[in-house]
Structure 1
Amino acid sequence: MKTELNFSDELSGKIALVTGGTKGTGKAIAQRLQAAGATVITTARNKPEDGDQHLHFISADLSQPEGTSKVVHEVLGKFGRLDILVNNLGGSDTPGGGFAVLSDEDWESSIHTNLLAPVSLDRGFLPQMLDRGSGIIIHIASIQGKLPLHDSTLPYAAAKAALINYSKGLSKEVAPKGVRVLTVSPGWIMTESSERMMERISKSSNITIDEATQSVMTALGGIPMGRPAQPEEVAELVGFLVSPRAGYLTGTEFVIDGGTIPTV
């Protein structure tokens, strides 16, 4: 007889923040934590038109120090504490063409968004976690931290590699004081943004959507599972890691890439 698992209340009473939590993987993570009973706060530059009324929203540009300060002050001012911090915000908008076309501004923007924003939020929320001897921080990195793509996302890959290293170091400092720090490194995720990219590739190359998807997987060196991840699959991993079921896990990087990385 199959037993249905029910984790609908395992985060009851917990306050969680998911950065970049209004779309894509961040939205899936926010919904997963909410489904487990947490009170969830999300951040983004702009409030989505189809936002979930049950999710608390803070408008902030986390690529700027003022944005991270605003989020810390509003969360602690309204809720008094934060139990779970999911640093999901990240991305790259640097041009293709390799190292020679990248400006100082391209590097600085990527490093601020993908490394310094999480560092700043950690610094803002950690003191109250340490005072209580309890808290969980998840850093969403990327397999590009180990498998960089040089053509257009080199600054992003470098920042994510630094985030993975920082996350490990931070975990060693705060684990003895009751705070768990973990890293989740996804491979290619089929978000709405990825779907639009497949449509553009399909149209520009006069190929089908499936062929466009295969071309991207080939560029990544192949995905043994034969497909990208769904946002909900990454969210399910995060949901487990922040739960009491993962209470002995800290300082570890969890790769969820369908087998993309070809090495051990």
Structure 2
Amino acid sequence: MKQEFNFKNELSGKIALVTGGTKGAGKAIAERLLKAGATVVITARNEPEEENSNLYFIPADLSRPEGTQKVVEGVLLKFGRLDILVNNLGASETPGGGFAALTDEDWETGIKTNLLAPVRLDRGFLPQMIEQENGVIIHIASIQGRLPLHESTLPYAAAKAGLINYSKGLSKEVSSKGVRVLTVSPGWIMTGSATRMMERIAESSNITVEQATQSVMDALGGIPIGRPAQPEDIAEFVGFLVSPRAGYLTGTEYIIDGGTIPTI
């Protein structure tokens, strides 16, 4: 039986922003914060997969400076402040083939989306958080920051490693001013797109979806807990980190990978 946690209203009165909040882990995080009583803003390039009138949506391309500026101005104009910023956006669209297949554009795109977007949003919202002496910033990185996959996602992995380093440095600067900064690094998450990918692998290889999933886990070196993460696994932990119950936590990276990374 799934355990239920009594977190209702613990974020009542808080304004939260979740980037990449229309699907996958971002959608689950936004819904988790909403259930805890927060007013939640989500942003992405595309409309939400499922409309939720309780979530305030701002369409924006955060890989571009004007996109982040649009979101900062939109949130502050409508709500006057931001209390919780979850930099969840992450994407890798680079081709396979290793380093030789990657162009300058591939590298620049990966860095703009996965590193510069959160840096710009932090810079936009931090002055107001520092002024109110209260705020929480969560950076969603990846275990690829420690365990890069060179075949196809090297720019993504490098950008996420940079995000982890930046997040630690930022926490040193702003924690004494009332703003907590934390990093969450998930492993493989079984999002809707991941599920569809397993279905395609299964069909093309004439195997079951379960066998396709196991083959990917094997390629990662195994997941000791025996399954990929569900978006709700990430959302539940983020919900704790942004809550008053985690008020002493800052400057730390938390790995949620079911034991994938083989080292300490």
Q: State the TM bucket, normalised to the shorter chain.
A: over 0.9
Q: Which residue of 1 aligns with 2:96?
A: 96
Q: Secondary structure at the match of 1:158?
A: helix
Deviation at 1:110, TM superposition (A): 0.4
TM-score with structure 1 setting the length: 0.98
Q: Which residue of 1 aligns with 2:117?
A: 117
Matched ranges for 1:1-264 at <5 A: 5-48=5-48, 50-264=50-264
Q: Does structure 2 conserve the Cα–Cα contact (< 8 Å) formed by 1:22 and 1:51? A: no
The 4+ residue runs of structure 1 with deviation greater than 4 A are none
Q: Does structure 1 conserve the Cα–Cα contact (< 8 Å) formed by 2:23 and 2:49? A: no
TM-score with structure 2 setting the length: 0.98
Gaps of 5+ in 1: none
The CA distance in 2 between the partners of 1:101 and 1:231, in whole Å, is: 31
Deviation at 1:204, TM superposition (A): 1.3
Q: Does structure 2 conserve the Cα–Cα contact (< 8 Å) formed by 1:18 and 1:43? A: yes
The CA distance in 1 between the partners of 2:244 and 2:235, in whole Å, is: 16
Q: Secondary structure at the match of 1:78?
A: helix
The CA distance in 1 between the partners of 2:6 and 2:139, in whole Å, is: 26
In the alignment of these two chains, the number of paired residues is 262
1:111-136 Cα distance to aligned partner (Å, 9 max, x none) = 00000000000000000000011000
The CA distance in 2 between the partners of 1:51 and 1:234, in whole Å, is: 21
> Over the residues paired in the alignment, what is the CA RMSD in angstroms?
1.0
Taking structure 1 as reference, are residues 56 and 177 closer, same or farther at Cα in structure 2, changes over 3 Å only?
Answer: same
Deviation at 1:4, TM superposition (A): 6.6
Q: Secondary structure at the match of 2:229?
A: coil
The CA distance in 1 between the partners of 2:49 and 2:171, in whole Å, is: 37
Q: Secondary structure at the match of 1:199?
A: helix
Percent of aligned pairs with the same amino acid: 78
The CA distance in 1 between the partners of 2:175 and 2:54, in whole Å, is: 32
1:231-254 Cα distance to aligned partner (Å, 9 max, x none) = 001000000000000000000000
Gaps of 5+ in 2: none
Deviation at 1:205, TM superposition (A): 1.2
